[in-house]
Copies of this chain bind each other. A is one copy, B any other.
Amino acid sequence: MSNNQLYRGSLTTIIMRLLEQKGRMYGYEITQKVKELTGGTMDIKEGALYPSLHKLQSAGHLKVEAEKVENRVRKYYSLTPQGEKEAVNMMQELKDYMENMQAIINPKLSF
C-alpha cells in the first residue's frame, strides 16, 4: 500500500468508498484508481486487495458479478443494501479518526 504503517487498516474503507461513488468496479480497476487519485503514492498490493474483497463479500457488504471482457475474466463488485449502510458507517469512522488524530497532533490549549 505504501512503506508507511499508517495505511494499515484503511483498505476496506477505501474499497467501500470507491464502490459507493462509482457503483461498480473490478479489483484491478480499484488499484489503478487509487494510484491515480494519490498521484502514484498509494499502491494497493494484490495480496491485500483480493482477500479483502473476498472478506467484504462473505460479510455481505459486496456482491460480485463475473464478466468476460476482451477474452479476460473480470469480477465486478458493488455494494449490497447492507454494504451501503456499512459504507456510511465507515466514512463516519474515518472522519472521527481524522478528527481524533488532529486533536492529538494539534491540541487546542492542552500543552
Q: Show the binding face of A for B, using Cβ within 8 Å.
A: 2, 4-10, 12-14, 17-18, 21-22, 34, 36-39, 41-42, 91, 93-94, 96-98, 100-101, 103-105, 107, 110-111
Contact = CB atoms under 8 A, between A and B. Distances in A.
Main secondary structure of the interface of A (DSSP, over half): helix
Copies of this subunit: 2
Contacts of A105: 17, 91, 94
A15 to B, nearest CB: 10
A61 B21 CA distance: 41
Nearest to A34: B104
A36 B94 contact: no
A111 to B, nearest CB: 5
Nearest to A95: B105
28 contacts: A2-B97, A4-B9, A4-B93, A4-B96, A5-B9, A5-B12, A6-B9, A6-B13, A6-B97, A7-B9, A7-B97, A10-B101, A14-B104, A17-B104, A17-B105, A22-B111, A36-B110, A37-B100, A37-B103, A37-B104, A37-B110, A38-B100, A38-B104, A41-B96, A41-B100, A42-B104, A94-B101, A98-B98
